[in-house]
Each structure stands twice: as structure tokens, then as C-alpha cells.
Amino acid sequence: MKKMGNHSSISRKLFLSLAVLLSLSIHSYAQEATATPAAATTAPAAAATPAVAQGGDPVKGKEIFNANCAACHKLDAKATGPALRGVGNKYEKAWFYKWIHNSSDLIKSGDAQAVKIYEEYNKVQMTAFPQLSEADIDNVIAYTMEPIPAAPAAVAGEKVPGTDANASGVSNDIVLGALALVMAILVVMLVLVNNVLRKVAAAKGISVAPKEPTISLWKAFAQNQFLVLVSAIFMLLASAYFVYGYLMQIGVDQDYAPVQPIHYSHRIHAGSNGINCNYCHSSARVSKHSGIPSLNVCMNCHKSIAEVSDTTATPEYSKAFYDNEIAKLYKAVGWDKDNQKYTGKTEPVKWVRIHNLPSFVYFNHSQHVTVAGIECQTCHGPVQTYEIQKQFAPLTMSWCINCHRKTEVKMEGNEYYTKIHEQLSKKYGVEKLTAAQMGGLECGKCHY
């Protein structure tokens, strides 16, 4: 009999290599798993609650500061008033008590320090706080005397949150490498098995039957005229469907969200801070257009808000990013935050328009917002959750018509439609009419 090679030895070597690889993977996983509790034991303890400073409690002082002082003062930057970090080293406590209880009387008395502050800050008198006790003032001073908190240093060997894509600690590269090696071993084994079977067949005189010639699939399809006809009809109908769908989307900019020259977050303003839409878009109540708010509206708040809180930041947008956008606003309006005054040097802001109806379409915001009482979110979506404003609705003719068909006319306090509503409700036999039943589907309502 013909001598054949020892294929079992080759297989043993391949399986041995796979076993070694898996053992190394398990060993590395075990090392990473055991390193986790070690890092946890060596990690520094959480910062303790600040100790009560001499003469005041900084924790209580922070609460009083945020409730009474934060509107005009910041710890590390000028606002309507001076920065207050370390202010306890500048004045005596007795002077603080008089100044905070009634700064106006102290200025009138001719106190040099009081007059200097009054002159330096554009002769804007500080609000009197007679309700604050001396203990409350001591607490506020203790809070302002706290040092600037240092950024937490990274612990050696500790993983930064969010950088490990695999929660189990096993590197994705190791897993993918192991899978690739297993697949390669399987391919090699299949090739070896195929060669062994061919050699066995040849040794025993077994001949492999040749493949019978077959006609290709495409030739068989081309020879069947019925299939060709059906396929052609199907392709024509499918092409017409997709072409029609493409043409119907021309001019439809749903989900269009351009990048604006100054980043404005509706999530922060309308969501977190609960600012009413009509405060900024005030013309929506009385005009055809909602209008772009002027930068003066922004400065009503941001004159005293030069930076955002730490809790405002998101993984995608940092606190530094938001603070830089406020700086862009200041540059556009010419606001000097250090000296708290306008420089007179302004720059235009080229906002990018998002919602743009065709010129032959008439839409009146006041008719929908004031008369109909429609919420802004009906057409613009949940703007209070948008970080970047986008076009929520398709704003197509069919979308508007469907809204008119299902939206009932609000009659509470709406005397304008009282008479026609009574007549049409009897005609249609309903208690409340939809906008469509009130003539909302007439062409002239929306087209000139």
C-alpha cells in the first residue's frame, strides 16, 4: 500500500496553537479583571465636604450666594458687580455688613471704599439685603474665600470612562484577532481534508466523476420569453415608482439642520431653562413671520451670563465650547464683559435659514399661534430637546391638508368664528368643526 503522510501530526499542531492562543487570551482577561479592584483600592477617596471656615459655613454661603448674589456677581469674573473670589481679604467684616444691608446709605455717608466701587461700576447701586443676618453674610464670605477647585488628576493605571468599548475588559483587538485566527485554521483544515480525501480516492482507484456541462442561469433566463416580459414590466413599474418618489422630495428639507455661526441650544434655553418660545420669537403672535430674535433679546440675559454651569455640558459639547459661543455673541454686539459696557463695535451674524416655504404659499404665524392656539411643537417638533435646531415637519401640501382635516377649531374665547361655527356645526351635525370644515381646504386660503 502507498505510504501516506502523517496528517494527524499536522492537526495536532494546529489544535495546539489554538489552545495556546485561547489560554493567552484568558490569562490577559484575568489580569485586567484582577487589576480593577486593585485600582479601586488605590483610588483616592471622594473629596470630603468642605470644612466650616472660620466665622462662616461655605456650604450655606453657597446657597445664599446662588439665591441672592449670583444674578449680579461671579466668583472669578466681573459681571454687573465685581468678582468676589477672595473678597474677604479686601474689606473688614463690619464694612461688609453695612454695604450689604444698605449700600446706598454707605455711599451717601462718603465712605471712600463704597464711593470707589460705585464710581467704578457705572454708578449702579447694589440691591440692599436687610433680611440677611450677619451670620448669613459670614457664610457668604466663607464661600467666596474658598480656593478654585483643581481639576481631578488622572490616577495611574486607571481607565478613563468611555474609552473602553468592551465592558468586560477584554480588548476588541484580541477578540477579533482570535476569531480571524480560528477562521484561518478552519480554512487550512478544510484544504488539508480535501487533499487527504483526493489522495485516498486515488490510492483506491476511485475516479471522481466529471461535472456535467450545464447552461448558465442568465442564458436560461434569456431563453424564457415569459420571464423576460414579466421582469421588464416589473422593472418599468419599479423605476417609475422610485422616480416619482425622488421627484416628490425635491424642495422637501425635512430634518435639515445647518450649522449656525453662533451655536444656539434650544435644549438649554427652551428645555432646561423653560424659556417660552414667544419670548424670543415675539412677532409670531402678531405677525405673519415668527422672526429671528435680535441679539438685544439675547443680551437681556447674557449681559449677566458670561459662562454656563458645569452641569450644562454634554459628552459632545463641553463647557468651554458653550462659553466660547457666548464670547461670539459678545463680539457681535460689542460687549466688553470685563468693563461691563458696550464698545460700539458690532458685527453682523449671518444666520442660516432653516424653514423656507415657496413664494406662492401663504402662511400666517399669528393666525395659527394667537387665533388657533396651536402649540409651536405641532409644526416645529420637540424643540426643547434639540441641541441643533432642525426642520421637524416636511411642510408639504399634503402635510398641511392632513393637519387641517384633523385639527378642531378652538372656540373658547374666540368670538371671531362664533357665528360661522354655529351655522356650520348644525350643517354638518357636529359639536366642533375642523379647520377643513371651516374652509381650510380652499385653494385661496394658502395660495395667492
Q: What was the pLDDT predicted at 183?
A: 93
- pTM here is 0.57
Q: What was the pLDDT predicted at 380?
A: 96
Stretch 312-329: mean pLDDT, rounded? 94
Please indicate whether residue 276 or residue 34 has the higher confidence score (pLDDT): 276
Cell numbers linked to 74: 461671579
pLDDT at 294 over 80: yes
Which of 182-191, 203-212, 275-284, 427-436 has the lowest average pLDDT? 203-212
The residue with cell 483506491 is 204
Measured on CA atoms in the order 54, 55, 59, 64, is the torsion positive or negative? Answer: negative
Q: What was the pLDDT predicted at 42?
A: 38
pLDDT tens, residue by residue, 53-76:
456 888 888 888 888 888 788 888
pLDDT tens, residue by residue, 146-186:
888 775 555 555 554 444 444 455 678 888 889 999 999 99
Percent of the chain with pLDDT over 90: 39
**CB-count burial class (<10 Å; 0-12, 13-18, 19+) for 329:** middle
Residue type at 404 in one-letter notation: H
Which of 66-80, 265-279, 390-404, 421-435 has the lowest average pLDDT? 66-80
Stretch 337-343: mean pLDDT, rounded? 90
Please indicate whether residue 164 or residue 428 has the higher confidence score (pLDDT): 428
Q: What was the pLDDT predicted at 35?
A: 43
Q: What was the pLDDT predicted at 334?
A: 96
341-342/335-336 β-pairing: antiparallel
Stretch 436-446: mean pLDDT, rounded? 90
Residue in 49, 52, 48, 51 with CA at minimum distance from that of residue 138: 52
Question: For residue 414, what are the contacts with CB-CB under 8 A and spacing of at least 6?
Answer: 371
pLDDT at 273 over 90: yes
Q: What was the pLDDT predicted at 72?
A: 82
pLDDT tens, residue by residue, 81-139:
888 888 888 888 888 888 898 888 888 888 888 888 888 887 777 888 888 888 888 88
Residue in 64, 257, 230 with CA at minimum distance from that of residue 143: 64
Q: What was the pLDDT predicted at 3?
A: 43
Q: What was the pLDDT predicted at 167?
A: 47
pLDDT at 359 over 60: yes
